[in-house]
Amino acid sequence: MTLRLRPFTEEDEAAARAADEQSAAERQRFLFHLEGTSTWSEVLERFSARRLGHDLPEGIVRSAMLAAVAGEQLVGRVSIRFELTPPLKRGPGHIGYHVIEEFRGLGYATEMLRQALIIARSEGVDHVLVTCDVDNVASARVIEKCGGELADTVESSLNGLPIHRYWIV
């Protein structure tokens, strides 16, 4: 499988916005922090600033929002937070990933998490917290394949729903 993580580009706009609309019905979003942006260029600038740690709003940490592409096809996204605030420690943790529905079950999530772990570690994150909804068996399997050890089950700080918290060292 040839999959790579890279920054989003101008060419990703249509596929990324379509994936964001599709994911809204699944209790999560494909893209984050779109509020206050009117153009895709502004979205890309915000992603770049967050990666560099520039102009971070209160409660927002330095992070990377990366496209997961197979060939030239957008198949998902990964978000990597390089530090955690107390709410982030309750969930979502350091790494979040989302595979576009039509590409699920093909092994992309495992490869996305594997590559995201390399990036997180290169930024000094040695103990990585990854979470998933308690009813998301597929995601739990992905996290465990990548070395995740179940720590506990808590209420997510994002939506109050129960999540499993895994640590990967």
DSSP string across 24-74: GGGTS-SS---TT--SHHHHHHHHHHHHHT-SPPTT---EEEEEEEETTEE
Q: Is residue 103 classed as helix, strand or coil in its secondary structure?
A: helix
Residue owning tokens 């206050």? 36
Residue ranges covered by each domain of the chain = 4-168
Mean predicted confidence (pLDDT) in 128-141: 96
CA angle 125/56/49 to nearest 5° reads 80
Each residue of 31-60: pLDDT tens digit? 876 776 779 999 999 999 999 999 898 989
CA dist 75 → 37, 42, 78, 98, 104 (Å): 24, 22, 10, 9, 9
| pTM score, whole prediction | 0.93
> What CA–CA distance (Å, rounded) separates 38 from 154?
35
Check pLDDT > 90 for residue 147.
yes
- At the second CATH level, the architecture of 4-168 is 3-Layer(aba) Sandwich (3.40)
